[in-house]
Each structure stands twice: as structure tokens, then as C-alpha cells.
A = this chain, B = another copy of it.
Amino acid sequence: MASPLNPPRRILLGPGPSNPHPRVLEALSAPVVGHLDPEFFKVMEESKAMLRWLFHTDNELTFPVSGTGSAGMETCLVNLIEEGDTVLVCVNGVFGTRMADIVERLGGNLVKVEAPWGEIIRPEQVEQALKDHKVDIVTLVHAETSTGVLQPVEEISRLTHDAGALLVLDTVTSLGGCPVTIDAWNVDATYSGTQKCLSCPPGLSPVSFNQAARDKLGRRKGKVKSWYLDLTMIERYWGEDRAYHHTAPISMNYGLHAALSEVENEGLEARFARHELNHRALVAGLEVLGIPLASQEGHRLWMLNSVKIPEGVNDAALRKRLLLDFNIEIGGGLGALAGKTWRIGLMGESSRRDNVVALVQALGQILKEEGADVPVTDALGAIEGVYTRG
């Protein structure tokens, strides 16, 4: 009935998944042991330590939840929110919108602070909302994958805590690609994903809760509304008790362990510099092709470039050609930005000089064939210039 599995080798420059590191793929096929095997406990402990290092946190409760990034989002919210809590959700893209949806499902009182998609949330907005409402929790997206915007955290964190609230931060796309300093920013709960700058396939979501978040969890009047994501039980498996909760996804955890080891091998400073440099090279090349960035200047992500689709170009047809003729995946716009933007990821292993060149070359060729007068050679020259200057 089924054909043999033989997926093509794509260059993954969409909003995730990124290309996994070869050693991560190797780890996925390592012999499976049981979820209560001491050899697996070793993997768990090492991954926890590496995640703390990567998040810049001492939080004891730091481990991967057994689902994708959205499961991590739900984990943070379902554990922290009790019916009647007032939750201020900062919305400037798809992922803020998703958090607002979850807050309502959980019976929270939703207060929204909104900014146009492609712009940051300004601290003054949060300050005003915190004056207007008695807020229990503030949620913020560090790297909005739908718009390519990097959100400053520190000022909003200060305001949040001055108002006696907790801060939940989405670090799905930022972790491993730019600095994420959970303790220094005083973030109370955060969740990330494996398939972005960690270059591990999708399937796990690293989360971290500080003591204030755990205290709120401990003060709950009723049980957490989700059994699968209930951290009061899961932490007993990831902690010293090793109490069985659900069967951990062994192979995915091998993959995450390998991915974190590769981040360690490269070093954070080098890794961030690489993401920043390839971003600048891509932007230089695209600008010459007449494809400008769509996100707010001064707040642009290195790992996810939201760009304006040139006028007259058929979005879907071009992305299909890129995929099928050049084996390159880029992402379309989401929600309000569908048909208006492309999202070009340079995440983890996908953030490479040859990928930048291949994409600009391919885009240039397709646009030319469709009759546009685009200076491909100049664009490649601009890219080279960035790498030469460094």
C-alpha cells in the first residue's frame, strides 16, 4: 500500500524545521532504551544541564516537554493560569494570537496589548495596560516567527514584576540563534522548540520555570487542566523520583541531546555571530534583487527574515518552483501577511553561507525567467562584500 520512504534532500530555509545537524539524525537512530533505564537518565540529566546553560538559567525545572513548541506554549499557560486569572497577552503576530486563544480556553480574563504585525510591542503599551487592569500574568513573544521581529524583553519584564505579575516568554525561534538570558531578564516561565535554531527535528519543547512560577503552580486551588502537560507530575519523572508519568519520547530526546551538544561544540558567541553574519549577507543580496525586509528596522531577527513579495510575483507558484526545481523551501506569510510576505529562515544548520548564495541565485533566476530585470550578479557581489568585510 505504501511506497518506500525516500524523502528528498531539501535546503530548509522556511520558518522551521531547519536542516538537522548530521549527528542529530544519527542520534535519532541510536538503539532505543527504556524510559526508566539508567542510561536514559544520564541523557536526561545532561540535556537538562545543557538547556540551563543555553537558557542562561539556574532553574531546576528545566526540561523538554513531549510535544512540539505549541505544546510548550500550552504547558506554560495551562500550568500557570487558573480560571479567573487576568492574563495580559502581547499580540503582534500569530503566536501572540495563539496565546490569546489558549488563555480564553483556560477561562482566563484576557487583556490584549496589540501592535501592528511586523512591529514590536512598546513598553508604554504594557505599562498602561498594567495600570488599567490587575494582571496576574503577562505573555510576550521574543522572536515572532510570523513577522521576523525581535522583541526587547527587559523593560517589559521590569514593568510586569513591578505590577506583581509573572512573565511568560516564547523563545521558540530565538533559542540557540541569539542571546536568551532567562535569569537576567527575570523571565518566570519560557518555552522553546527543537526545530528552529537547535537544528533538531520538531517534536520536543524545552520549558523552564523559575521559583515564582513554581510557587504559583503550587498555590493552585485545583488540578492543572491538562494531565499530559501537568508539570507537577512531569517534574517528578525529570527529577530525582523518576516517577513514571508518560513514556518519554526516547529517540527525540537522543536527538535533542545531540543537538545541544553541537551548540556547545560551536560555542554561543560563534553561533550567534554566524547567525548575524548570514542574516546581513542575505539582506544585502535580497535588497539588490528588490526584495526589502518587511519587519521593523532595528528589531529584526537574524534567524527569520520576513520580506515583501515583489509586485506582480505569484507567491505560491514561485515557492513551488523554488521547492521542486531548486530543492529550497522558504515560508509564506501567515494570517494577515499571507500573500504579502515570504519568511526566509536561516536557523541553526540552515544558517550557512552556501545557502544564502543558493537562495539569492535561485530567486534571481526565477524572477529573471518571469521577465523581471534583476541584477543577480550584483546581488551575489553584495553578499560577497558582506562576507569579505565580515
Q: Which residues from 1 to 57 on chain A have a C-beta closer than 8 Å to any C-beta of chain B?
A: 1-10, 12, 14, 16-17, 19-20, 25-40, 42-43, 46-47, 49-50, 53
Interchain CA distance A105-B245 in the complex, whole Å:
16
Task: Map CB proximity to B onto A220-260 as digits: 1 under 8 Å, 0 otherwise.
Answer: 00011111110000000000000011111111101101101
CB atoms of A34 and B10 under 8 A apart? yes
**One of B252, B258, B329 near A33 (C-beta < 8 A):** B329
CB distance from A165 to the nearest CB of B (A): 22
Task: Map CB proximity to B onto A176-212 as digits: 1 under 8 Å, 0 otherwise.
Answer: 0000000000000000010100000111000000000
Q: Would you call A98 an interface residue if the criterion is a C-beta within 8 Å of the partner chain's C-beta atoms?
A: yes
Q: Which residues from 246 to 287 on chain A have a C-beta closer than 8 Å to any C-beta of chain B?
A: 246-252, 254-255, 257-258, 260-261, 264
CB atoms of B202 and A264 under 8 A apart? no
CB atoms of B5 and A201 under 8 A apart? no
CB distance from A36 to the nearest CB of B (A): 8
**One of B26, B104, B249 near A223 (C-beta < 8 A):** B104
Q: Would you call A139 an interface residue if the criterion is a C-beta within 8 Å of the partner chain's C-beta atoms?
A: no
CB atoms of A19 and B1 under 8 A apart? no
Q: Assuming the A-B contacts A8-B33, A27-B5, A260-B2, are A66 and B67 also in contact, with contact meaning beta carbons closer than 8 angstroms in the complex?
A: yes
Interchain CA distance A268-B50 in the complex, whole Å:
44
CB distance from A91 to the nearest CB of B (A): 15
Segment of A68-76, A118-126, A305-313, A359-367 in the binding face: A68-76
Q: Would you call A334 an interface residue if the criterion is a C-beta within 8 Å of the partner chain's C-beta atoms?
A: yes
CB atoms of A228 and B66 under 8 A apart? no
CB atoms of B251 and A203 under 8 A apart? yes
Q: Would you call A155 an interface residue if the criterion is a C-beta within 8 Å of the partner chain's C-beta atoms?
A: no
Q: Would you call A111 an interface residue if the criterion is a C-beta within 8 Å of the partner chain's C-beta atoms?
A: no
**One of B228, B255, B334 near A71 (C-beta < 8 A):** B228
Interchain CA distance A31-B19 in the complex, whole Å:
8
Interface size class of chain A, counting residues whose CB lies under 8 Å from the partner chain: 35 or more
| List of B residues within 8 angstroms of A5 by Cβ | 27, 30, 43, 254, 257-258, 261
CB distance from A46 to the nearest CB of B (A): 4
CB atoms of B46 and A250 under 8 A apart? no
Q: Would you call A378 an interface residue if the criterion is a C-beta within 8 Å of the partner chain's C-beta atoms?
A: no
Interface centre among A5, A28, A264 (most CB of B within 10 A): A5
| List of B residues within 8 angstroms of A32 by Cβ | 7, 10, 12, 17, 19-20, 25, 201
CB distance from A183 to the nearest CB of B (A): 18
| List of B residues within 8 angstroms of A226 by Cβ | 74, 78, 105, 226
Q: Would you call A323 an interface residue if the criterion is a C-beta within 8 Å of the partner chain's C-beta atoms?
A: yes
CB atoms of B29 and A28 under 8 A apart? yes
Q: Which residue of B lies closest to A9 (CB)?
A: B31
Interchain CA distance A78-B98 in the complex, whole Å:
18
Interchain CA distance A38-B320 in the complex, whole Å:
10
A to B CB contacts below 8 Å, 28 in the list: A2-B47, A2-B49, A2-B260, A3-B46, A7-B39, A8-B33, A10-B37, A12-B32, A16-B247, A25-B251, A28-B29, A33-B329, A37-B323, A68-B246, A68-B249, A69-B246, A70-B227, A70-B228, A73-B227, A78-B226, A101-B223, A104-B223, A105-B224, A201-B249, A202-B248, A203-B203, A203-B251, A226-B226
Interface residues of A (CB under 8 A from B): 1-10, 12, 14, 16-17, 19-20, 25-40, 42-43, 46-47, 49-50, 53, 66-71, 73-74, 78, 98, 101-102, 104-106, 193, 195, 201-203, 223-229, 244-252, 254-255, 257-258, 260-261, 264, 323, 329, 334
Listed from nearest, the 5 A-B pairs whose CB atoms lie closest are A203-B249, A70-B246, A201-B251, A28-B28, A25-B29
